[in-house]
Amino acid sequence: MTKILETERLTLRTFKAADAPLVAEYVGNWNVCSMLSRVPYPYTREMADQWIAGHAASPDITCAIDFEDAFVGCIGQDQEFGYWLAEPFWGKGIMTEAARAFVSFLFEEKGMHDLASGYKKDNTASGAVLQKCGFEVAGEGTLFCLAQDKQIERWEVTTNRHIWEKVRKDW
């Protein structure tokens, strides 16, 4: 396990094989899974094992989120900036804290200039997290959701280094 970032309450780190049971449990929750585009439902322990094992060979940046020394979610940058949080931890400001730290990491440490993301139109909590990180709506679109087995409507959002430099002063 390698620590990537630390905030006041969180540690963002590499995933370890021992995270698989909780990944399967948390992502296997319909309320989480149905908000993600590339995750099938039901989501199994074997899928979690394979997903974690695949990180070592991937150029993507994917971090486990620990809150009070317990694994609670995931944040990453691959095709887009994205994240998920286990339902018992919703509404505690965890994802906003993790997202602000991770966006800062991407701009400061990884030299990124532009970030893109998106969220399901009815997922206002995710929209609020992204807005607090400086993302702005760039348009509307659809994306196939494996768990729901259908196209979902979503807001497409973007931010860039210049916007981030302005908004981070208020964090």
33-69 residue pLDDT tens? 999 999 999 999 999 999 999 988 888 999 999 999 9
Locate tokens 């992204």: which residue? 130
CA proximity to 59, closest of 41, 73, 74, 77:
77
Distances (CA, A) of 125 to 1, 82, 93, 111, 131: 30, 13, 10, 28, 10
CA proximity to 158, closest of 135, 133, 124:
135
Rounded Cα gap, residues 127 and 118, in angstroms: 8
CA proximity to 137, closest of 122, 153, 117, 151:
117
Cα angle at 26 between 22 and 32, to 5 degrees?
160
Locate tokens 């060979």: which residue? 57
Query: What's the DSSP call for residue 123?
Result: -
- Taking only the tens place, the pLDDT of each residue in 109-162 is 999 999 999 999 999 999 999 999 999 999 999 999 999 999 999 999 999 999
Rounded Cα gap, residues 57 and 91, in angstroms: 33
| The pLDDT value given to residue 58 | 86
pTM for this predicted structure: 0.96
Beta strands in the chain (DSSP E): 3-6, 10-13, 61-67, 70-77, 81-85, 114-120, 136-145, 150-160
Structure tokens, 21: 């049971």
Domains, the chain, in order of start with CATH, read 3-170 (3.40.630.30)
